[in-house]
Amino acid sequence: MPAGAGARTSPPAGRRLAAMDDAAHDEAGPGSPAPDDAICFRSATELAALLRARELSSLEVVTACLERIDAVNPAINAVVRLAPDALDRARAADEALARGESQGPLHGLPFTINDSLDTAGLVTTAGTIGWRDRVPDRDATVVARLRAAGGILLGKTNTPEFTWSDETDNDVYGRTSNPYDLERTPGGSSGGPGAIVAAGGSPFDIGSDTGDSIRQPSHVCGIAGIKPTRGRVPRTGHWPGYQGMLESLTQLGPMARRVDDLALVLPLIAGPDGEDPHIAPAPMPDLGRRDVRGLRVVAFTDNGLRTPTPETAATVEAAIEALAADGATVRREMPPGLGEAWRAWDAMIRVDGWAWLRRLISAAGTPGMGSYDTRGWLGPARELPGAELTALLDRVDAIRSAFGRWMADVDVIACPAMPQPAIRHGESNEAWFGDTYSDVHNLTGCPAVVVRGGASDQGLPIGVQLVAPLWREDLALAAARVVEAASGGWRRPSL
């Protein structure tokens, strides 16, 4: 997302967990610090297996997550609304499994979902005042697919207004904080998902990524996230949607504590839905564990646009060494045209002078420009005349084509996700111009995984980005597993 931050906005008292079901809250009970092997900290993959084997009940898992949310959410404000039927659905899932009936690979497994995605019967605001009471009559495609696979919706997670900021803050629910340091941002736009997954309140969430908005929160919150290939996952029911020139930049993908969880969830949400006209019927590669021996890895730590902190560079270097030690063939090289790709991405998002964002806010019935009037998140933008617009679109396709040709001899790119760990709230305008490492792949369309590779001296997570050729999520995930194994991956925050 574009660089930006603004004035601090505290969530109104009593609104942190809007529409909390009283009976569900009483049954779940108050939360308290949990040991590292507690149910709420186990991976989605492990929990799904334990549920299938009936070694854990869905009611136990859902209750553990609700307790953890209750314990940590007052501090981080990541979950903005709970589903009142989560415990009832958990009981029904347990009863079905006792009868030998399984709904799918996520049977009985809870998850949260970004408030930019529609949920039938549950308020979806996309962070805009005009929609604060809006209740969709159907699920977004990804939500419907997760439910069809047996998943149980716990609630909604915070997002900036219509997802468009590096800070997760809005006029409806206020600001979300990083669980590793409450004075710092969890990133955006998927900062609510990143914060609650890192804090142990949810096994996984679905983020959206137009300009690093899955990868940046994954990086600063120390979890794993994947931006899939352009055209892999339908955006139906997401705000912004699949319409217009920016559609090719926006992808939806899972965020979780472990890389294996990304491989579990991604195939369940991928593929055409008959509504998003830009989704390809491309086969999903086998996302299971595979050897990286012989993979051709291009590695760099500085893209020449923004030099990373020494700790960031050292984290990426450690990841490169781990890949080489596991048999990957590594060459140090800067991919060509990254600066040009970033400039083209930046031109694309503001090509109409932010008219696309104004249309969304106006259609929602929100006065003015909503959060953007007070937070200063939008930079200057000039509406391009037709000739300049068509020239820009020509340039974008030329960049994509040239990058694709270069990637023919590359299996994975290993590089920073951002040039620094999480910054303090309100510093975004001055210090957050680091999207240059990740925004470029919203333009190229390549799949990219971010996984925790280390931490700063202050204990702030640092992610590593692994980028693969189009449609080869399997390669990015394979490399990410190596980095995760070498670093230990996600670590529980002291929150």
Strands 204-209 and 251-256: antiparallel
| CA–CA distances in Å: residue 397 to residues 391, 393, 402, 468 | 10, 6, 9, 19
Confidence check: pLDDT of 374 > 90:
no
Label residue 21 by pLDDT band (50, 70, 90). Answer: very low
* Band of residue 20 on the pLDDT scale cut at 50, 70, 90: very low
Sheet bearing 251-256, strands edge to edge? 204-209, 251-256, 224-227, 448-455, 461-467, 412-416, 296-299, 329-332
pTM of the full structure: 0.92
User: Rounded to the nearest 10 degrees, what angle do helices 86-98 and 44-52 cross at?
Assistant: 50
> Among 35-39, 335-339, 421-425, 471-475, where is mean pLDDT lowest?
35-39
Report the C-alpha gap between 387 and 184 in whole angstroms. Answer: 42
C-alpha to C-alpha distance for 176 and 191, rounded to whole angstroms = 7
Amino acid 385: pLDDT = 95
- Can you tell me whether residue 260 is helix, strand or coil? helix
Which amino acid type is present at position 6? G
What is the average pLDDT score of the chain?
Answer: 91
What is the rounded (10 degree) CA torsion for 75, 79, 81, 84? -100
Closest CA relative to residue 486, chosen from 315, 256, 240, 307: 315
Q: What is the rounded average pLDDT of the residues 471-495? A: 97
**1 residue type, one letter:** M
Instruction: Give the mean model confidence (pLDDT) for residues 15-37.
Output: 38
Given a contact cutoff of 8 angstroms between Cβ atoms, the answer to whether 180 and 461 are in contact is yes
The pLDDT value given to residue 495:
86
Across the range 46-53, mean pLDDT stands at: 98
pLDDT on residue 463: 98
What is d(CA 427, CA 421) in angstroms, rounded to the nearest whole number? 13
Residue 464 has pLDDT above 50, yes or no: yes
> Percent of the chain having pLDDT more than 70?
91
For residue 292, pLDDT over 80 is answered with yes
- Helices in 215-337 by DSSP H: which ranges? 215-221, 259-269, 310-325
For residues 160 and 371, the answer to whether their CB atoms sit within 8 Å is yes
**In which band, very low, low, confident or very high, does the pLDDT at 433 lie, cut at 50, 70 and 90?**
low
pLDDT at 19: 33
Where is pLDDT greater, at 170 or 166? 170
For residue 293, the tally of other CB atoms under 10 A from its CB is: 9
Distance from C-alpha of 211 to C-alpha of 213, rounded to nearest angstrom: 6
Check residues 295 and 430 and name the one with the higher pLDDT: 295
Distance of alpha carbon 131 from alpha carbon 144, whole angstroms = 21
Say what the pLDDT of residue 431 is. 47
Is the pLDDT reported for residue 354 higher than 70? Answer: yes
The residue-averaged pLDDT of 375-401 equals 93
Peptide bond into 218 cis (omega under 30): no
**CB 412, CB 295: distance < 8 Å:** yes
Place of tokens 């009981």: 91
Tokens of 277: 């006209």
Contacts of 427 (CB under 8 A, 6+ apart): 5
The pLDDT value recorded for residue 36 is: 59
Distance in angstroms (rounded) separating the CA atoms of residues 406 and 298: 11
CA distance 352 to 173: 29
Tokens of 370: 């909503």
Mind listing the pLDDT tens digit for each residue in 389-426? 999 999 999 999 999 999 999 999 999 999 999 999 98
pLDDT at 22 over 90: no
Cα–Cα distance measured from residue 349 to residue 2, given in angstroms and rounded to the nearest whole number: 8
Question: Would you list the domain boundaries of the chain?
Answer: 22-487
Residue 494 has pLDDT above 80, yes or no: yes
Per-residue model confidence (pLDDT) at position 9: 34
Q: CA-to-CA distance for 301 and 283, rounded, in angstroms? A: 32
- pLDDT of amino acid 186: 97
Angle between helices 310-325 and 473-487 (to 10 degrees): 110
Q: Is the pLDDT of residue 334 over 90?
A: yes
Neighbour count for residue 244 (Cβ, 10 Å): 11
Chain Cα centroid distance, residue 154: 17
Confidence check: pLDDT of 454 > 60: yes
Q: pLDDT tens for residues 134-149?
A: 999 999 999 999 999 9
Mean pLDDT of 353-359: 94
The pLDDT-based confidence of 376 (bands split at 50, 70, 90) is: confident
DSSP secondary-structure letter at 271?
S
Would you call 134 exposed, middle or buried from its count of C-beta atoms within 10 A (0-12, 13-18, 19+)?
A: middle
Answer whether 203's CB lies under 8 Å from 256's CB.
Answer: yes
Pick the CATH number of 22-487 from 4.10.910.10, 3.90.1300.10, 3.40.50.10860, 3.40.50.1000: 3.90.1300.10
What is the full DSSP assignment across 430-469?
A: HH-TTGGGTTHHHHH---EEEEEEEE-TTS-EEEEEEE-S
